């Protein structure tokens, strides 16, 4: 099912949680709503599920206007961070419950519930109570319960954040597998960029209620729309060095060192950030751009080098034949990809 969001605004009393939000989500995709806490992603999810209604704007499921339609009529499945399983019911009863409400005959609902349990791999614990399950198992049951009524749309609200690190990776792969097997359009809310990158077809990145960028995960990383997007994604975080534009060149730091990076149509004197990914730095001692080594550390098969560039400590993955020493002066240059220039005030991207 295709979802169309048109100019959605949601205000609570005097603060605006979501502001002029428009997007189209294609049928069968898994789209992640990503952003720091308070960015409006959960509010957006609640408006999709019908728990909240928007102040302005329209929501369409295919061609149906569902903006003010109540939850139960929308045919959405919802999975919560705390699972929200009914503690007094067994796993089977939990999964059956939505069908019971829809008055599906008992035999049929048990059949369907069992099929769902198999899909999410909890078929062996149908008679247990939620309290007897691990967090991961509870989440599987919650997903089964959300899917059993064959929703048009599956909504997952930070489903992994109550799990420990190892389970989180396992469960996100599971969610992806289940989503691909069922083909249900899915919206996944998270604040964890790694989770979003690994699971999604598309990511919607939000900040303070405003959509920042809506793209494929790799695009978000390679072509961030603005400084916030570049900062938010990537581990280690992107390096940021202050600079200023003069004659189409980006000059770094107080000493105005030439970064060899050129921008077009930017007025002289514009304060900017030169942002670059750690993998976009190359060691080149012939380069006029000089830096000083602080520390090298081995992380698995890669070596990460911290160095000072224009007064700012930054990091890069650099291949070197000889071991770099502390305080050693090196020359560096940048690759074509993974290097961006942003306006320091507006965050607008120039390169």
Partner 1 sequence: MSNKSRDTEMRSDKHTSKEPVSVGKILTYVVLFIGSIIMIFPFYWMITGAFKTYQEINLIPPSLFPNNPFNLENFIYAFKTAPFGRYFINSTLALLGCIVTCSFTTILAAYAFSRLRFPGREFIFSLLLSLMMVPYEMIIITNYRTIVGWKLHDTIWALILPFMSSIFYTYILKGFFDSVPESLYQAAKVDGCSDWKYLWRVMVPMAKSSLATIILLNAIATWNSFLWPMIATNSKTVRTLPFGLYAFMTEGGQRNDRMMAASTIVVIPMIIIFLFARKYIISGMSRGGIKG
Partner 2 sequence: MIRKPFLERIKPLFYLLPFIISVSIFTLYPIVNVIRMSFLEGYKYLTGAYTGIGLGNYEKVVSDPFFRQAINNTFRYVLLVVPISTVIAVILANLLNQKVRFQAFFQTCYFLPMVTSSLAVGLSWRFMFNDKFGIINYVLSLMGIDPVQFLGNASGNFIALVIFGIWAILPNTIILLLSGLQNIDPLYYTAAKVDGAKTLRIFFRITVPLLAPTIMLVIIINMISTFKMYHELFPLFNGPGIAYNMFTVVYYIYYEFRVMTPPKYGYASAAAVMLLVIVFVFTMLQRAVQAWSRKERGEDVKQVKRHRDALR
DSSP string, 233-286: S-SSPPEEEEEEEETTEEEETTTTEEEEEE-SS--TT-EEEEEE-GGGEEE-TT
- Which of the listed partners (partner 1, partner 2, none) does 97 bind, with a CB threshold of 5 to 8 Å by partner kind? partner 1
Query: Which of 53, 83, 77 is CA-nearest to residue 65?
Result: 53
Q: Assess 72 for contact with partner 1 (CB under 8 A).
A: yes
CA distances from 284 to 96, 234, 238, 287, 298 (A): 64, 24, 20, 6, 20
Q: Assess 150 for contact with partner 1 (CB under 8 A).
A: no
- Which of the listed partners (partner 2, partner 1, none) does 68 bind, with a CB threshold of 5 to 8 Å by partner kind? partner 2
* Cα radius of gyration rounded to whole Å, the chain: 25
Omega within 30 of 0 (cis) for the link into 236: yes
> Are the C-beta atoms of residues 254 and 313 closer than 8 Å to each other?
no
Q: How far is the CB of 338 from partner 1 (least distance, A)?
A: 40
Q: Token digits for 191? A: 């604040």
Query: Going residue by residue from 15 to 54, which x/- string records binding to partner 2, judged by CB under 8 A?
Result: --------------------------------------x-
Q: Assess 102 for contact with partner 1 (CB under 8 A).
A: yes
Angle at alpha carbon of residue 158, lines to 191 and 34, rounded to 5°: 35
Stretch that binds partner 1, among 31-39, 44-52, 60-68, 321-329 (CB under 8 A): 44-52
Q: How far is the CB of 96 from partner 1 (least distance, A)?
A: 11
Q: Assess 55 for contact with partner 2 (CB under 8 A).
A: yes
State how far the Cα of 255 lies from the Cα of 320, in Å rounded to an integer: 27
Q: Which of 88, 177, 216, 335 binds partner 1 (CB under 8 A)?
A: 88
Nearer to partner 1, 85 or 197 (CB): 85
- Which of the listed partners (partner 2, partner 1, none) does 55 bind, with a CB threshold of 5 to 8 Å by partner kind? partner 2
Q: Assess 97 for contact with partner 1 (CB under 8 A).
A: yes
Nearer to partner 2, 55 or 71 (CB): 55
- Which of the listed partners (partner 2, partner 1, none) does 280 bind, with a CB threshold of 5 to 8 Å by partner kind? none
CA distances from 189 to 59, 80, 160, 269 (A): 18, 10, 10, 40
């Amino acid at each position: 099912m295709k979802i169309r969001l048109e100019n959605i605004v949601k205000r609570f009393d005097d603060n605006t949680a979501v502001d002029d939000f428009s997007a189209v989500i294609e049928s069968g995709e898994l789209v992640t709503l990503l952003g720091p806490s308070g960015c409006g992603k959960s509010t957006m999810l609640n408006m999709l599920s019908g728990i909240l209604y928007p102040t302005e704007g329209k929501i369409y499921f295919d061609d149906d206007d569902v903006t003010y339609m109540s939850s139960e009529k929308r045919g959405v499945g919802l999975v919560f961070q705390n699972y929200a399983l009914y503690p007094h019911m067994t796993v089977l009863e939990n999964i059956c419950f939505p069908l019971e409400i829809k008055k599906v005959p008992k035999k049929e609902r048990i059949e369907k519930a069992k099929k769902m349990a198999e899909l999410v791999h909890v078929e062996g614990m149908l008679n247990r109570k939620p309290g007897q399950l691990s967090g991961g198992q509870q989440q599987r049951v919650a997903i089964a319960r959300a899917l059993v009524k064959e929703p048009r749309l599956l909504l997952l609200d930070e489903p992994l954040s109550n799990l420990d690190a190892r389970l989180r990776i396992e469960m996100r792969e599971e969610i992806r597998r289940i989503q691909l097997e069922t083909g249900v359009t899915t919206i996944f809310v998270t604040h964890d960029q790694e989770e979003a990158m690994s699971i999604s077809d598309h990511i919607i990145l939000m900040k303070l209620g405003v959509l920042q960028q809506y793209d494929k995960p790799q695009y978000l990383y390679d072509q961030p729309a603005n400084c916030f997007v570049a900062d938010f994604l990537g581990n280690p975080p992107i390096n940021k060095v202050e600079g200023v534009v003069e004659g189409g060149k980006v000059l770094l730091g107080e000493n105005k060192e030439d970064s060899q990076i050129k921008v077009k149509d930017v007025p002289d004197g514009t304060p900017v950030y030169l942002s670059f990914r750690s993998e976009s730095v190359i060691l080149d001692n012939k380069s006029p751009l000089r830096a000083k080594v602080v520390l090298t550390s081995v992380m698995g098969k890669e070596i990460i080098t911290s160095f000072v560039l224009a007064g700012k400590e930054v990091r890069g993955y650099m291949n070197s034949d000889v071991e770099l020493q502390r305080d050693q002066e090196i020359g560096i240059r940048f690759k074509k990809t993974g290097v961006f220039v942003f306006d320091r005030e507006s965050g607008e991207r120039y390169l």
